[in-house]
A and B are shown apart, each in its own frame.
Chain A
Amino acid sequence: MSYLEYNVKITPTGLRKVLHLNWPLVLLLVAVACVGFLMLYSVAGGDLSRWAEPQMKRFAGGLALMFAIAFVPLWFWRSMAGLAYAVSILLLLGVEFFGSLGMGAKRWLELGPIRLQPSEMAKITVILAMAAYYDWLDIRRTSHPFWVLVAVMIVLIPVGLVLRQPDLGTALLILGGGGLVIFFAGVSLWYFGVLVAAAGGLVSAVVASRGTEWQLLKDYQYRRIDSFLDPTLDPLGAGYHINQAMIALGSGGWSGRGFMQGTQSRLNFLPEKHTDFIFTTLAEEFGFVGAISLLVLYLAILVTCVVAALQSQNRFASLLILGVAGNFFLYFAVNMAMVMGLAPVVGVPLPLVSFGGSAMLMILIGFGLVQSACIHRPKERG
């Protein structure tokens, strides 16, 4: 598919593109980000400059980037998909060999003054690549074993590299995002049935291999699983985080303890209170009502995206939007399930709320692509 294949006349040009932006989506993103600013202000004990202010600056930058990406025609991004994917694989390899260590894992690549986290980038580039792949592939070959294998390899190469860092949370998100696009593209459900069976086998293998020489996960990862299964087992050790998080959540009650009144976060009982566990502070201070409100905002973003995807008659655009939205869902679903004790503790931030630049930037880039798809809505001929 090339530029010529689109009916250019119905695509807005210049400033008129602004009118064709998906404004409800923009507003929802800003609303979620504002919740984030509020919570970061609260967990810093009323200190704006500690986390909220840098987060605002990053969000402003990210938003600008989102608009810039949105205004670039979608077919440009489609043609860049292969390149972006290749670059991110190279960067991941770079991390493997030249990466810098942080908290026991090699995640960062330092290129002069810039610190890159290629694994974050891979989340988007894999979705982009998969959407482009299935757009290119003859729809009748979607379920052909060879072409399925190609798709799976496109996903698994970056997943494998990220797992080696090791960064289980990000690897899961990449796997989930890529897998979702494969699913949306219409690959036969049989494959997924086999996959579920294989996953069951893998889990057994992981459990069985523990303590042997060839054990599949690191000890700390096993401990996380243990503490997930029974957080009270070791309340001051591995289970500490999840116990304290559940205390914070539960003590919020129906309407919460009030803004800046959460003792669990204010007195530092909560771990990672400004990053992965920020949802617990929200739930502690604004209670069930506040937590549900955030969930509704997230779901609204999701619905907006799905509607946009279904309205689009373009395969690439639909797959891209659904992929980004599915990835976004994985973010907040895994994070919330984790702090509520429904999933093991893996490092997944709460999207647009947790403090952190890389993840937010990537999410906004993803939504920039979604916006681009909304603006440049090609009507296929014939």
Chain B
Amino acid sequence: MKRPKKDTEESVRVISRRAAMIGGAQLLFAGALVLRMRHLQVAESDQYRLLAEENRVNIRLLPPARGLIQDRNGVILAGNAQNYRVVLIREEALDPRATLERIAQLIPLTEEEIERAMRDISRHRPFVPVTIADRLSWEEVARVAANAPALPGVTPEVGLTRHYPFGEEFAHSVGYVGPVSENDLAALDNPEPVLMIPRFQIGKVGVERELEDSLRGSAGHRRVEVNALGREMRELDRQEGDAGLNVQLTLDRNLQAFTLARLEGESAAVAVMEIPTGNVLALVSAPSFDPNLFVRGISVPDFNALRENDYRPMSNKAVQGAYPPGSTYKMVTALAAFEAGLASPDERVFCPGHMDVAGRRFHCWRRGGHGRMSLIPALSESCDVYFYELAQRVGIDRMYAMAEKLGMGQRFEIPVSAMSTGLNPSREWKRARRGAEWLVGDTVNASIGQGFVLSTPLQLAVMTARLASNREIVPRLLHAIDGVEVPTPEAPPLGLQGTALNLIQRGMSECTNHQRGTAYSSRVVQTDLRMAGKTGTSQVFSITAAERAAGVRRQDQLPWNRRNHALFVCFAPETAPRYAVAVVVEHGGGGSSAAAPIGRDVVLAAQTGGLPPLEAYPQPQRNRIEAMLRELAAKVGPLTGPATTSSRA
């Protein structure tokens, strides 16, 4: 077949025309590609360069070392212990299970732990180090390291973990740290990135929590180049973080330890303050617990045991517990009346064992009555009727004002968790909260620290310190941050009449030192250590008619949780007060029998800076006390810090 020439020419013409059309379209397309390339590579290049950098560079945080917490003498209460652990990298280990089983022959590793490690290993990318054993001893780590050639992919590492060398002694006041929880993060508007570090720990309770910002420090960082899988290729630069600041508290480790040991077996709280600085030397709540358990991650049975304990070990009763102050409140009533000039020291009130007010009969704790009572014996023997009489004269408004002056119903600026305000009741309070008018019976109840009145042990210590000094002393717990002392402001005068206050102080002195005083059996006989105090017994439940019918007469016949709270406040030395102590023994029975002996031992320990001297106790008690002190010394262990400070009286 031969193609005509005309057809060939036509074919060439058509093909040329069509080729020109397609060629034009192709050039247009190529032009579009060039424009797009110019847009990406020239116009928006900076933005893409940035994105490439973000891809490439990862910032890894370096957790900072947490600041130490020290006692007033520099003894470390919360420190950082080296924590040895063993990590495994899957891609280097070849056969992780065989490796784990080999490790199990070197260090204790349960079947369960191996399973958990295997799960962790399979969950992470092959180059991510997985912790297989934590908190190892140096010997254990050394054993693993020595066998390194047989354990490919296994490396010992060292990190820091919080450690509380004195365990339960400071569980409430210093508190503890724990891993950052979802709740912690939710509470923060803009959480610091350091909180996102896996297993990073922050303060949960106590000083650890309240001073978190100072203690935490700031994280350092490493900039590393990573590939698309996140594997680190190399470190670009590294900046170490700033360690947290060291915090020094006013607490005294020896006194704290002695006090906690002294409270053993009780559900009780003690606050010890220094006069006139307000330094809190001991803040003890018993029973306590080991905060190290929480750092490690407490087991469910351990946690339930703490939570279900009737003695509430996790509650910091010294600041969180609000108790009816009982007779320890009588100083407030008396002072309100004498300040207002509504009573005179020589005036006597007859106590027949009860008083009828507004159609109701109010009993004195001594059913038989005290007879004719003036202020000082009324305080020393704790006659209730005397104070019923004063209360009716002075009225709740003046009592409220005096209680406030002495620190009741107040929250103090110290770094502790869950501080209670207690309750200093007033007419307004009752109207607002109870929707009822204040009754004279309420005033009578309040006069002996019953009814609505609630105080914390710390508030009672503040009250005692103020009564002893006539100064507006406030508690001080934080002594120094990063070596810089927090200034101690001089406590301003409280402005009470000297004569009235003197009477109260004498009443307190007779309570402990006069043989009719309720705390006479807890007296101190060594003159320079003598104390003045006041007992209190606050009713939680009345003995019911049914119980009375069943023959229950005495507190110790009642079940524990229905018995009265036992309280005692005191200051010493009597002549130049340096220490104020408040003791509350929950359901302890009576203030003079359960709380006052504790108060005496604690205030003696505070004054000597060590164990109480045997000579301070009355001769007949010494045998018993000596045995007790020996036992306590064994529990407290070696005394810490510089040999008893010269600043002590």
Tell whether A and B belong to one assembly: yes
Q: Which residues of B contact A336 (CB under 8 A)?
A: 33
Complex contacts, A329 vs chain B, CB 8 Å? 26
Q: Mark B113-126, 1 if CB is under 8 A from A, else 0.
A: 00000000000000
Contact A315 B40 (CB under 8 A): no
B26 in contact with A333 (CB, 8 Å):
yes
CB distance from A108 to the nearest CB of B (A): 28
Count B-side interface residues using an 8 Å CB cutoff: 47
Chain B interface, DSSP helix/strand/loop, else mixed = helix
A116 at interface by CB-CB < 8 Å: no
Give the residue name and chain of the A residue nearest to B7 (CB).
A139
- Residues from chain B with a CB closer than 8 A to the CB of A267 are 55-56, 225-228, 233
Q: Which of A251, A315, A382 has the most CB of B within 10 A?
A: A251
Contact partners of B440 in chain A: CB under 8 A = none
Which of B21, B30, B36 is the one whose CB lies under 8 Å from A299? B30
A window 253-275: CB within 8 A of B: 253-254, 263-264, 267-269
The answer to whether A99 has its CB under 8 Å from any CB of chain B is no
Whether B30 pairs with A333 at a CB distance below 8 angstroms is yes
Across the interface, do B33 and A295 meet the contact criterion of CB distance under 8 Å? yes
A233-254 toward B: CB 8 Å interface, digit per residue (1/0)?
0000000000010111111111
Q: Quick check: B16 and A310 within 8 Å, CB to CB? A: yes
Instruction: Please count how many residues in chain A sit with their CB below 8 Å of the partner chain's CB atoms.
Output: 53
Assuming the contacts A139-B7, A315-B11, A342-B36, asked whether A251 and B48 have C-beta atoms less than 8 A apart, the reply is yes
How far, in Å, is A252 (CB) from chain B's closest CB? 5
Which residues of chain B have C-beta atoms less than 8 A from A246's C-beta? 40, 48
- Complex: how many Å from CA A65 to CA B290? 83
The segment from A32-40, A75-83, A209-217, A283-291 that touches chain B is: A283-291
B11 surroundings in chain A (CB, below 8 A): 139, 186, 315, 318
A313 interfacial contact with B, CB 8 Å: yes
CB-based A-B contact count at 8 angstroms: 149
CA distance A248 to B229 in the complex (A): 17
Inter-chain contact A184/B42, CB cutoff 8 Å: no
CB atoms of A253 and B42 under 8 A apart: yes
Instruction: For the complex, give the distance between the alpha carbons of A186 and B30 in Å.
Output: 24
A326: Cβ under 8 A from any B Cβ: yes
A249 touches B40 (CB 8 A): yes
Q: Which residues of A contact B12 (CB under 8 A)?
A: 310, 313, 315, 318
Contact indicator A283/B37 (Cβ below 8 Å): yes
Do the beta carbons of A268 and B37 come within 8 Å of each other? no
Beyond A302-B26, A313-B8, is A186–B14 a contact (Cβ under 8 Å)? yes
Contacts of A381 in B (CB 8 A): 2
- Interface class of chain A by DSSP: helix
For A1, give its contact among B1, B27, B53, B225 (CB under 8 Å): B1
Q: Taking the complex as formed, is A375 at the interface, i.e. its CB lies under 8 A from any CB of chain B?
A: no
Q: From residue 140 to 187 of chain A, which have CB atoms closer than 8 A to chain B? A: 140, 180, 183-186
With A180-B22, A267-B56, A380-B3 known to touch, is A254 a contact of B15 (CB < 8 Å)? no
Chain B, range 224-248, C-beta contacts under 8 Å to A: 225-229, 233
* Whole-angstrom CA separation of A380 from B7 in the bound complex: 12
Q: Say yes or no for A21: interface residue by CB 8 A criterion.
A: no
Asked if B18 and A295 make an inter-chain contact with CB atoms under 8 angstroms apart, the answer reads no
Which residues of chain A are near B550, meaning CB under 8 Å?
none
Which chain A residue has the least Cβ–Cβ distance from B56? A263
In whole angstroms, how far apart are the Cα atoms of A198 and B433 in the complex? Answer: 81
> Are B30 and A264 in contact, with the CB atoms below 8 A?
no
Q: Which of B3, B16, B34, B37 contacts A249 (CB 8 A)?
A: B37
B23: CB under 8 A from chain A?
A: yes
Residues of A close to B37: CB separation below 8 A: 249, 283, 288, 291-292, 295, 340
- Interchain CB contact under 8 A, B8 and A380: yes
Report the separation of the CA atoms of residues A74 and B55 in the bound assembly, to the nearest whole angstrom. 53
Rounded to whole angstroms, the CA-CA distance of A340 and B52 in the bound complex is 16
Determine whether the beta carbon of A254 is less than 8 Å from that of B45. yes
Q: Which residue of A lies closest to B227 (CB)?
A: A267
Question: Is there an interface contact between A269 and B228, defined as CB atoms closer than 8 Å?
Answer: yes
CB B437 to nearest CB in A, in angstroms, measures 68
B1 touches A291 (CB 8 A): no
From B4, B30, B228, give the contact of A268 (CB < 8 A). B228
Which residue in chain B gives the minimum CB-CB distance to A140?
B7
Interface check A196, CB cutoff 8 A:
no
Q: For B48, give the chain A residue with the smallest CB separation.
A: A250
A180 / chain B contacts, CB cutoff of 8 Å: 22
Q: A254 and B42: CB pair below 8 A?
A: yes
In the complex, whether B38 has a CB less than 8 A from a CB of chain A is: yes
Q: In the complex, which residues of chain A have a beta carbon less than 8 angstroms from the beta carbon of B53? A: 263
Q: List 25 A-B contacts (CB under 8 A).
A: A140-B7, A180-B22, A184-B22, A186-B11, A186-B18, A244-B55, A249-B40, A250-B40, A250-B44, A250-B49, A251-B51, A268-B228, A269-B52, A288-B38, A288-B41, A306-B23, A310-B16, A315-B12, A315-B15, A322-B15, A326-B22, A333-B30, A340-B36, A340-B37, A382-B5
Interface, chain A (partner B; CB < 8 A): 1, 5, 138-140, 180, 183-186, 244, 246-254, 263-264, 267-269, 283-284, 287-288, 291-292, 295, 299, 302, 306, 309-310, 313, 315, 318-319, 322, 326, 329, 333, 336-337, 340-342, 380-382
Q: What would 14 more interface pairs be, CB under 8 Å, given A249-B41, A267-B55, A283-B41?
A: A5-B2, A138-B7, A184-B22, A246-B48, A247-B55, A250-B44, A251-B45, A252-B41, A254-B41, A267-B227, A267-B233, A291-B37, A292-B34, A382-B2
